[in-house]
């Protein structure tokens, strides 16, 4: 009976974890606030593909804004991050994540982004200020998405810019963003004719704008095979191999939750 209770407890916990993950994307695709919106197709696509989720009540809030932390989580998903490997990546940057107040729900994705150079370590401290998440600016999200295209699809960027689109406010665009603006413009993801020819780098980016960037970038990545993926020194995109499951006979003596082994088994064979 004791073994059965333990087994049932594990099943309930496993189901809870799975359902918690699924519920964040369980909102209806036909959001109540996107009909007639210019980004409706992009919004429905990123939701369907689990890059972005909506809000309770069936809304997406297309004109709402996102934080830099949320942008990194979205970029990590676009890079092929899987929540199942959260602990593996988070453990490698555990102290840095804690020191920079990264909340538990975002640690796996942020660690994955650090591991794959979507986010640089000197940018980590800017995600959270005190207890508040920092709003994401337009140029910052373009950098994150551009890095995904660069490292996952092997897209080249020009470190010395010769062909940045002629935005009216190009002098106010941060230098580090210009190569990625050029890349996304060349791919047709950015349209220099929008916003009356202004890029508005320091404006907070809207959820609708993020949906467009992510949806169009995902289409490019769809055409990339595993053989095409560029992995630079020190970067690993794919998670480690899952250990082979082994069945043993015995009774559970102890369960410890944390970084240590969580199950101790006493052999019934006396070995």
Per-residue pLDDT tens over the stretch 183-210: 999 999 999 999 999 999 999 999 999 9
188 contacts 22 by C-beta, under 8 angstroms = no
Which tops the pLDDT comparison, 35 or 226?
A: 35
Q: Is residue 266 part of a domain?
A: no
- Does residue 254 fall inside a structural domain? no
Annotate 167-197 with b (16+ C-beta within 10 A) or e (fewer).
Answer: beebeebeeebbbbbbbbbebebbebeeeee
Secondary structure (DSSP) of the chain = -HHHHHHHHHHHHHHHHHHHHHHTT-S-SS-TT-TT-TTHHHHHHHHHTTSS--BTTTB--TT-B-BHHHHHHHHHHHTT--GGGHHHHHHHTHHHHHHTT--HHHHHHHHHHHHTTSS-GGGGGGSEETTEEPBPBHHHHHHHHHHHHHHHS-----SS-S-----TTGGGS-GGGHHHHHHHHHTTSS-TTGGGG---TTSBPBHHHHHHHHHHHHHHHHT--GGG----TT---SPPPPPPP----EEEEE---SSS-S-EEEETT--
Residue-wise pLDDT tens digits, 219-233:
999 988 655 555 443
Residue 18 belongs to a domain: yes
Q: Per-residue pLDDT averaged across 144-170, rounded?
A: 85
CB 214 within 8 A of CB 190: no
Position 256 in a domain: no
Asked if the structure places residue 42 within a domain, the reply is yes
Instruction: Determine, yes or no, domain membership for 93.
Output: yes
The answer as to whether 125 is a domain residue is: yes
Share of the chain above pLDDT 70, in %: 70
Per the domain annotation, does 268 fall within a domain? no
Is residue 78 over pLDDT 70? yes
Give the pTM: 0.75
The total domain count for the chain is 1
- Boundaries of domain holding 130: 2-228
Tokens 């689109």 identify what position?
165
Q: How far is CA 89 from CA 45, 101, 115, 182, 237, in A?
A: 27, 16, 8, 31, 11
Burial (CB count <10 Å: 0-12, 13-18, 19+), residue 27: middle
């Amino acid at each position: 009976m004791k073994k059965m209770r333990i087994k049932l407890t594990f099943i309930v916990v496993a189901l809870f974890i799975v359902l918690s993950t699924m519920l964040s994307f369980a909102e209806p695709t036909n959001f109540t606030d996107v009909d007639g919106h210019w980004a409706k197709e992009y919004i429905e696509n990123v939701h369907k593909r689990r890059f972005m989720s909506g809000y309770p009540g069936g809304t997406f809030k297309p004109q709402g804004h996102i934080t830099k932390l949320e942008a990194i989580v979205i970029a990590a998903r676009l890079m092929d991050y899987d929540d199942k490997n959260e602990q593996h990546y988070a453990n490698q940057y555990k102290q840095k994540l804690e020191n920079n107040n990264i909340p538990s729900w975002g640690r796996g994705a942020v660690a994955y982004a650090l591991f794959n150079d979507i986010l640089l370590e000197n940018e980590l401290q800017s995600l959270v200020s005190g207890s508040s998440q920092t709003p994401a600016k337009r140029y910052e999200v373009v950098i994150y998405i551009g890095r995904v295209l660069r490292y996952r699809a092997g897209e080249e960027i020009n470190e010395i810019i010769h062909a940045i689109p002629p935005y009216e406010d190009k002098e106010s665009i941060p230098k580090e963003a210009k190569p990625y603006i050029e890349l996304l413009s060349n791919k047709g993801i950015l349209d220099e004719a929008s916003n009356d020819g202004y890029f508005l780098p320091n404006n907070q980016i809207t959820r609708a704008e993020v949906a467009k960037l992510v949806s169009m970038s995902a289409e490019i990545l769809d055409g990339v095979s595993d053989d095409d993926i560029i992995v630079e020194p020190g970067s690993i995109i794919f998670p480690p191999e899952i250990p082979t499951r082994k069945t043993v006979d015995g009774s559970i003596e102890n369960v410890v939750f944390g970084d240590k082994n969580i199950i101790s088994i006493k052999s019934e064979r006396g070995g």
